Amino acid sequence: MAITKTDFMRGMQCPKMLWLDKHKPGLKVIPPEIQARLDAGNDFGDLAMGMFGPYEEMTVYLPGTTIPDKAAMLKRTQDHLAAGTPVICEAAFSNYNNYCAVDILRKTESGYDFYEVKNAPEVYPQFVKDTGFQYYIMARCGINIGKIFIVIHGPDENNPFVPVEVTMQAKSYYKWINDHIWDLNRMQKQAEEVDTEPGEQCSTPYECWYYGYCHGRKE
């Protein structure tokens, strides 16, 4: 049980959120409007895969499920890196079992640029931290990353994708991530429930799916 990009972002918002994800996921309540937003984000991400033309997608599912087969994705990614594939989508990387899948990895003369796709009108601070986590994992895997972009949605159908460069900001999070990822790893494995008082983190930057549980509605 290690840390994924989603784990890290949720754990940094609230450690108890991450602990509940691992130990009591049945308590999770995702409002319909939030699920619709998540689904729309997935659809936007699927469309963005083709923004640079032909690509190879690394997604592999465990048989009969919609659960990613991380081992197969890691192997497939390494095969395409070795083959020099120009554009790799959902490229998978792991370091000490900490894991990320990169939306779009684009080959350059000296290495790779990567693109994180967000169905949003602007770049928010949490998006940059998200890319910082991915950079951290790839850097520790020995991947030479040049530029880093967040792709937001454009003004119309003729301009659906707008890449915004966040290279310096994203790379600056390397030490911050290293300072916290190992603590989150240990914390999520502990048997006792994390004791965190409700507060601003319950709704910032995202409303927690365990809001009702932590605010007393534990039926």
Residue pLDDT, tens place only, 119-173 = 999 999 999 999 999 999 999 999 999 999 999 998 888 889 999 999 999 999 9
Of the pLDDT bands very low, low, confident and very high (cuts 50, 70, 90), residue 217 is low
Helix axes 174-189, 125-140, angle to 10 degrees: 90
Q: Where are the domains of the chain?
A: 5-214
- CATH code for residues 5-214: 3.90.320
> Which residue reads 């290279």 in tokens?
167
The vertex-131 CA angle with 59 and 90, nearest 5°, equals: 10
Letter string b/e over residues 100-117, b meaning 16 or more CB atoms within 10 A of that residue's CB: bbbbbbbeeeeebbbbbb
Please state the pTM of the whole predicted model. Answer: 0.94
Query: Tell me: the pLDDT tens digits for 180-210?
Result: 999 999 999 999 999 999 999 999 999 999 9
| Contact residues for 10 (Cβ-Cβ < 8 A; gap 6+) | 17, 18, 21
- The token pair at 153 is 């949605």
Q: How high does pLDDT run on average in the chain?
A: 94
